[in-house]
Amino acid sequence: MLTKPESACLVIADISGYTGYLAGVELDHAQDILADLMSTVVTALRPTLRLSKLEGDAAFAYVVTEAIDPSLLQDVVERTYFAFRRRLRDIGQASTCDCDACTRMPVLDLKVVAHHGTVIRQRIAGHEELVGADVIVVHRLLKNHVDETLGFKAYALYTDACVRAMGADPVAMGLREHGEMLDVGGETICWVRDLEAAWLDEQDRKRVLVTDSEAALTIAYEVPVAPAVAWEWVTSPIRRPVWGPGITEIVESSPTGRRGAGTTNHCMHGKDAIVEEILDWRPFDYLTSRSAMPDPSLPKVVMTDAFVPLANGGTRVEIRVLKPKPREREAFEAFRPMLEGMIAGSGEHLRQLLSEPKVTGAVAADSDPVEEPVVEASKGRHLLAS
């Protein structure tokens, strides 16, 4: 039994509308749909967060950490919602069943509550249980007044304690302030993002992706970690100097205080800086950047870092450098050997680092792994005609 109090980020992803949805529908198909969607949600939360338990139509996850990377946590939450919406759409398109359970799927949605506080992990018969007042708080916040007050059906709710652990400005990040009165903890200030609006923005956002046919240069390496973990090591301004040869500091600038399209990084090599502008940001699939070298005579480099999941649980990281414009071709070819060496050297350093046994999670390392709950597999009955 573990009794040491620890700081942790606590996240509950809850499929909203499920209780009302169950009334009068075929239970076997409804159970299949829930299992399908819960599997999608849990897969998106892992491995950044660890699944603590399944609670009917909700997944309770956490990570032990004192500080939270604001970009990473919000990326995980929004990626989870995007995966949920895509899966809901795909089930509807794939299903040939016209029963009430299948036709009423669009009433389902997802809300996410995130809190930061102190927990005690108790292990009984190989299973782990989180206890403490903050565990109660995050569960109480599932019953809130966001819909009535802000009109958001699908949303991410971050407590003020969570935002403080992020060390970020919630207003600059576009979060809306919202208050709740709880029987545990009293008045609780929260910050809310409309996930439906985020989903629509995601659909409209222009993609900037260097494909294989557009690449003048492609370098790939494999790392023995999941794409979410590889992504965090590649994009974190704190982690990059650890594995990037010659990098002394990453100075990040973003109008929202959150990494993404529009963020500018000054990748410092002593007094020299490579200035990177993020053009596209699709956690944890790919990002595309445009880099200006310290020498103004060298052409700017546009490249995509793609994170391809492998069957063994690892990730193939592919760096594709866009072919230069005709007028820049000569300068690019002269610069190409140096560029290739920089990319290959960085990739090898990262591969070696992530091959070390105790390099773990994306939000924070946790050296006390336990077996996570098993997510029930769908029988697929909801995809077939009744």
pLDDT tens column, 207-235: 999 999 999 999 999 999 999 999 999 99
The pLDDT value recorded for residue 213 is 97
Spans in the chain with pLDDT lower than 70: 1-2, 24, 125-126, 358-370, 382-386
The pLDDT value recorded for residue 252 is 94
The pLDDT value recorded for residue 71 is 95
The pLDDT value recorded for residue 358 is 65
CA distance 250 to 266: 6
Phi, psi of 340 (to 5 degrees): -60, -40
Provide the Cα torsion 69, 71, 73, 79; round to 10°.
Answer: -160
Q: Give the number of other Cβ atoms within 10 Å of residue 285's Cβ.
A: 15
pLDDT tens column, 102-117: 788 888 999 999 999 9
The pLDDT value recorded for residue 359 is 62
The pLDDT value recorded for residue 361 is 44
Return the CATH number of the domain spanning residue range 5-203+365-383: 3.30.70.1230
| CATH 3.30.70.1230-classified regions of the chain | 5-203+365-383
The pLDDT value recorded for residue 123 is 80
User: Across-strand partners of 116?
Assistant: 9
When the pLDDT of each residue in the chain is averaged and rounded to a whole number, the result is 90
Regarding the domain with residue range 206-354, which homologous superfamily does it belong to in the CATH classification?
Answer: START domain (3.30.530.20)
Q: Give the number of other Cβ atoms within 10 Å of residue 377's Cβ.
A: 10
| CATH 3.30.530.20-classified regions of the chain | 206-354
